[in-house]
Structure 1
Amino acid sequence: MDWRVFLTIFGSVFIAELGDKTQLATMLFASDKEVSKYTVFLAASAALVVAAAFGVLAGSLVSEYISERYLHYVAGVGFIGIGIFTLYHA
């Protein structure tokens, strides 16, 4: 395993998820005193693992047909577009 790649991906995803609606929803579920915190943790973790698996699968399928270079461009333009949209509506 390439630890540099692992830590880069971990750090990127971790920072992206902080304060995200997923984390806020998980905090809301965990605030219910009648719900086991272990159940909330396991369910939220499983959901993130499945979502990540879809991302890996989609990325590997798309990369079969589109160059990695163009995927980086599309992702960059997409993030910039989302940022502009967010700033416009703020």
Structure 2
Amino acid sequence: MDLKLFFMAFGMLFLAEMGDKTQLAVFTLVTQYKKPLPIFLGASLALVLVTLIGALFGEVVSRYVPTAYLKLAAGILFVGIGIFVLIEAVPGVLHQLGRG
């Protein structure tokens, strides 16, 4: 095993996910449901599977789709998910403001 590559992947993903949407989603779920263990296990499994998909298909896809298009699609998807989360959050925030 190439330990240098292993630690580089670990370090990059650890830093990229710190404070990212994944961590914020887990934080939000735990504050909402107050059950950290099943949320941790579910999120961990999801991250493992998503990373496996990325590792298995990343090189194949990049042979046929230019990197710029992949980045554009990822950005659009990220913004779309952000808009969805905001739309879902607004009624709860308005409700909380009405109580205060």
Structure 2 residue runs without a partner (length 5+)? 76-100
Cα distance in 1, alignment partners of residues 4 and 52 from structure 2? 20
- Give TM-score scaled by structure 1 length: 0.64
Cα distance in 2, alignment partners of residues 37 and 19 from structure 1? 17
Kindly state the Cα deviation for residue 42 of structure 1 after the two structures are TM-superposed: 0.2
Cα distance in 1, alignment partners of residues 35 and 26 from structure 2? 12
Q: How large is the RMSD of aligned CA atoms in angstroms?
A: 2.6
> 1:30: which partner in 2?
30
Kindly state the Cα deviation for residue 26 of structure 1 after the two structures are TM-superposed: 0.2
> 1:4: which partner in 2?
4
**Structure (1 or 2) with the greater helix fraction:** 2
Confirm whether residue 20 of structure 1 aligns to residue 17 of structure 2.
Answer: no
> 2:92: which partner in 1?
none
> 2:87: which partner in 1?
none
Q: How many residues align?
A: 72
> 2:84: which partner in 1?
none
Identity of aligned residues (%): 40
Kindly state the Cα deviation for residue 24 of structure 1 after the two structures are TM-superposed: 0.2
